[in-house]
Amino acid sequence: MDSNKKLGLVGRNISYSFSKKFFEDKFQKLMLKGYSYNIFDLSEIKEVENLFSAPDLLGFNVTIPYKEKIIDYLDELSDEAQKIGAVNCVLIQNGKKTGYNTDAFGFEKTLLLHKKPHHTSAIILGNGGAAKAVKYVLDKNGISSITVSRNTEINFENLDKETVENHKIIIQCTPVGTFPNVEDCLSFPFDGLSKDHLIIDLIYNPNYTQFIINASEKGAKTVNGYYMLEQQAEKAWEIWNFQKK
């Protein structure tokens, strides 16, 4: 491998990133010299243009709030990224910038690990880039879903207990409750939950968000975002290292 390969994470206010430690551990485990993983904290997306001129940049991950905005700066999208409308992984090859969505891969692995036969319909909380990847995976697996956000017809104010009772998978895709704001929790009718429910909160820091704590008190099966995060990172690593054009 070449002597110097740069990777990193593009986002805003991302000092708490899991990815840096994950990839630095990987470089160590694989005894790879000359790889680095940096945090590219951008106050606005157009600053990404400076990044593209950096020599030896192999690619980068993309996180909140740029998964959708990054698309305008890329040359090409994978089929999945195109269908989802969000990118969380960019490969740079011979100056060509290609966007991928590995969130879908990570979420699908999580879903299939925990899904039971009665889990046939879902509520997606939030409508950002991660929520779009979640919806894509649910559609692909024949699971009907409704999206609840601040400005959808069913929103955080009017989502009722009965709707929650009728949808046995709930996926929390907003950043509400992420460290350091661990006390925060979406307004949600937790009384509609039961032991038949599967709750997936995409947040991984803290391990147990207030949302997960509230849901588990109702007997629901709860899963955080850690496994999805690991899996999407593994997939990104594959894209950066094994693309043969």
Which phi and psi angles does 20 have, rounded to 5°?
-60, -50
CA 189 to chain centre: 24
Alpha helices in the chain (DSSP H): 18-29, 48-52, 79-84, 103-114, 129-140, 161-166, 210-216, 226-242
Under 8 Å between Cβ of 105 and 133: no
Helices 103-114 and 129-140 pack at an angle, to 10 degrees, of 50
Pairwise CA distance, residues 180 & 118, whole Å: 35
Catalytic residue among 6, 67, 132, 135: 67
Is 67 catalytic? The answer is yes
For residues 207 and 232, give the distance between their C-alpha atoms in angstroms, rounded to a whole number: 18
The two three-digit tokens of residue 172, written as one number: 């929390």
What is the arrangement of strands in the sheet containing 35-41, beginning at the earlier edge strand?
A: 35-41, 5-11, 59-62, 89-93, 96-100, 76-77
DSSP state of 216: H
Question: Hey, which residues are catalytic here?
Answer: 67
